[in-house]
């Protein structure tokens, strides 16, 4: 399970980096910063400090800055990208506002309540219900 | 027609009673065990007719009498003649009937326990086969330990617990959840069904010690926690794949999972 969550975060970070580059090239500066911020938080808050993916993210962000320099509409965002790099490099200097808070999304509340109350020893239609977690997870994964 | 014998129930269980026509008073009497009461003809024929979807009552035998009997009965009332007949049976005969009834009850109880035990064994084996088939067919498709507690226990190699839960589910399926499952059966060592199950399953397997109970409880909690984790992972995957810019709810959820851990 820990590997699964780690892999999910890493794939998300890599996807965010390439998406940021696409947004920069298509001159969508705000969306690019927003996307890269999510990736940076994932790196410094969820991954181990020396994880190679964080180094990859820092290097890729430098490339994004280089590409952005050549696009006038993006050039002004250089400082924002550099600040993101600083946060990834020095997670010990982060402020509370740089971190996301733990919060269970409201959409998951009913499902968590079902899990809490379910008597696991009573048979259910799990394998006959394609909305069940095992099928849903499979479908989302694919 | 002199009388109607009614069966109320199914082929497996039910209740017998009868209606007898009292020629002298021109009324029907209902004889149901020790209860005797007058009944209106419309009700008699409705209950006797059978075939109604909302009723399980139906006549299974109609008694006719010949002219001679008819003439005899027109001068006598039926009810006082039949009421309390059993109470007038002599002591020895009554004792014999009571002993016979008790013997029958015990035989019936043993027979039903053997049938129920057989049904539970069949369900248990069917479930085990279905689970083995699912493992074979779905292994490459689904994350099996997520399916239910049985697959989770199997994955964790807790095979005795796994089989116990399967047997408990077989009991629930056969007797209904309200009957309390295997724990209720094993609580009474004199229970005929418990003795019946003992012929197929080892006593040590059937009985859950407090230590086993608490160990199973730990596994159930671990399985619930695993489901919560997968809910969050599935939610995060979906959030990222739907709109990677809208990452915040997924980040909040992942942080929630980290803090739970």
pLDDT per residue as tens digits for the range A15-40: 999 999 999 999 999 999 999 999 99
Indicate yes or no: CB of A35 within 8 angstroms of CB of B244. Answer: yes
Residue B19: give the domain boundaries.
Answer: 3-88
SS3 content of chain A, % helix, strand, coil (to 5): 75, 0, 25
Instruction: Tell me the nearest-neighbour CA distance from A101 into chain B, angstroms.
Output: 6
pLDDT at B33 over 80: yes
A3 CB within 8 Å of a chain B CB:
no
Instruction: Suggest the residue from B132, B216, B234 to mutate for an interface test with chain A (most A CBs closer than 10 A).
Output: B234
Q: What pLDDT sits at residue B213?
A: 93
Question: Are B75 and B124 within one domain?
Answer: no
For residues B47-56, give the mean pLDDT.
79
Nearest Cα residue to B1 out of B55, B35, B48: B48
Residues B174 and B84 in one domain: no
**Is position B190 within any domain?**
yes
- The reply to whether B101 falls in a domain is no
**What is the mean pLDDT of the segment spanning B82-96?**
72
Q: Identify the domain boundary among B88, B123, B156.
A: B88
User: pLDDT-derived band of residue B12, with 50, 70 and 90 as boundaries?
Assistant: confident
Chain A CB contacts of B226 under 8 Å are: 1
- Hey, are the CB atoms on A134 and B142 less than 8 Å from each other? yes
Q: Do residue B166 and residue B126 come from a single domain?
A: yes
Are residues B244 and B194 located together in one domain of the fold?
Answer: yes
pLDDT at B86 over 60: no
Kindly state whether residue B106 falls inside one of the protein's structural domains.
no
CB B149 to CB A38 under 8 A? Answer: no
Q: Which of B19, B53, B88 is the last residue of a domain?
A: B88
| pLDDT band, residue B80 (cuts 50/70/90) | low
Contacts of B21 (CB under 8 A, 6+ apart): B1, B2, B3, B27, B28, B29, B78
Decide if pLDDT at B93 tops 90: no
Q: Are residues B182 and B219 in the same domain?
A: yes
Contacts of B70 (CB under 8 A, 6+ apart): B2, B23
Confidence of residue B34 (pLDDT cuts 50, 70, 90): confident
pLDDT of residue A132: 82
Q: Are residues B175 and B249 in the same domain?
A: yes
Is the pLDDT assigned to residue A12 strictly greater than 90? yes
* CB of A45 less than 8 A from some CB of B: yes
CA–CA separation, B1 and B70 (whole Å): 9
Model confidence pLDDT, tens digit, residues B161-179: 999 999 999 999 999 999 9
> pLDDT at position B84, please?
57
Q: What is the pLDDT of residue B82?
A: 61
The pLDDT confidence band at residue B35, using thresholds 50, 70 and 90, is confident
What is the pLDDT at residue B141? 77
Rounded to an integer, the average pLDDT of A4-22 is 93
Write down the domain spans for chain A. Answer: 2-98, 106-141
State the pLDDT at residue A75. Answer: 84
Does A15 sit within 8 Å of B240, measured CB to CB? yes
Q: Does the distance separating the beta carbons of B233 and A123 come in below 8 Å?
A: no
Task: Answer whether residue B151 is part of any domain.
Answer: yes
Smallest Cα distance from B79 to chain A, Å: 53
Q: Is B153 a member of any domain?
A: yes
Same domain, yes or no: B173 and B247: yes
Asked whether the beta carbons of residue B244 and residue A31 sit closer than 8 angstroms, the reply is no
Domain count, chain B: 2
The DSSP annotation for B159-222 comes to: HHHHHHHHHHHHHHHHH-GGGTHHHHHHH-TT-HHHHHHHTTS-HHHH---HHHHHHHHHHHHH
Q: What is the pTM for the complete model shown?
A: 0.72
Q: What is the pLDDT of residues A65-112, one digit of tens each?
A: 999 998 988 888 899 999 999 999 988 888 888 999 999 999 999 999
Residue of A nearest to B173 (CA): A123
Q: Does pLDDT of B87 surpass 80?
A: no
The H helix count followed by the E strand count for chain B is 11, 5
How many beta-carbon pairs under 8 angstroms link A with B?
Answer: 135
Nearest CA in chain A to B240: A12
């Amino acid at each position: 399970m820990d590997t699964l969550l780690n892999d999910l975060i890493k794939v998300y970070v890599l996807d965010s980096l390439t998406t940021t580059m696409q947004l920069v090239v298509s001159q969508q500066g705000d969306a690019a910063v927003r996307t890269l911020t999510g990736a940076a938080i994932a790196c410094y808050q969820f991954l181990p400090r020396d994880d190679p993916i964080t180094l990859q993210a820092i290097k890729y962000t430098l490339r994004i800055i280089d590409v952005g320099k050549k696009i006038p509409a993006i050039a002004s965002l250089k400082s924002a990208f550099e600040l993101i790099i600083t946060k990834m490099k020095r997670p010990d200097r982060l402020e509370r506002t740089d971190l996301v808070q733990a919060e269970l999304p409201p959409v998951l509340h009913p499902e968590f309540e079902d899990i809490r109350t379910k008597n696991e020893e009573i048979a259910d239609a799990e394998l006959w219900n394609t909305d069940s977690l095992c099928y849903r997870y499979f479908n989302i994964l694919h | 027609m002199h009388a109607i014998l009614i069966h109320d129930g199914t082929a497996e269980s039910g209740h017998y009673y009868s209606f007898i026509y009292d020629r002298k008073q021109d009324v029907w009497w209902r004889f149901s065990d020790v209860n005797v009461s007058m009944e209106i003809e419309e009700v008699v024929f409705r209950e006797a007719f059978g075939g109604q979807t909302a009723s399980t009552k139906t006549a299974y035998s109609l008694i006719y009498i010949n002219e001679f009997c008819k003439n005899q009965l027109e001068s006598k009332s039926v009810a006082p003649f039949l009421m309390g007949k059993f109470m007038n049976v002599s002591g020895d005969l009554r004792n014999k009937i009571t002993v016979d009834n008790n013997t029958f009850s015990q035989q019936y109880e043993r027979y039903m326990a053997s049938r129920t035990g057989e049904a539970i064994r069949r369900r248990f084996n069917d479930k085990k086969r279905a689970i083995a088939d699912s493992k074979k067919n779905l292994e490459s498709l689904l994350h099996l330990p997520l399916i239910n507690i049985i697959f989770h226990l199997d994955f964790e190699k807790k095979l005795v617990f796994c089989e116990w839960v399967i047997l408990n589910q077989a009991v629930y399926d056969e007797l209904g959840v309200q009957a309390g499952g295997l724990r209720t059966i094993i609580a009474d060592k004199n229970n005929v069904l418990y003795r019946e199950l003992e012929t197929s399953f080892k006593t040590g397997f059937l009985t859950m010690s407090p230590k086993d109970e608490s160990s199973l409880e730990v596994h159930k909690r671990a399985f619930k926690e695993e489901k919560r984790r997968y809910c969050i992972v599935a939610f995060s995957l979906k959030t990222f794949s739907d709109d990677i810019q809208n990452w915040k709810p997924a980040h909040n959820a992942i942080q929630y999972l980290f803090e739970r851990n």
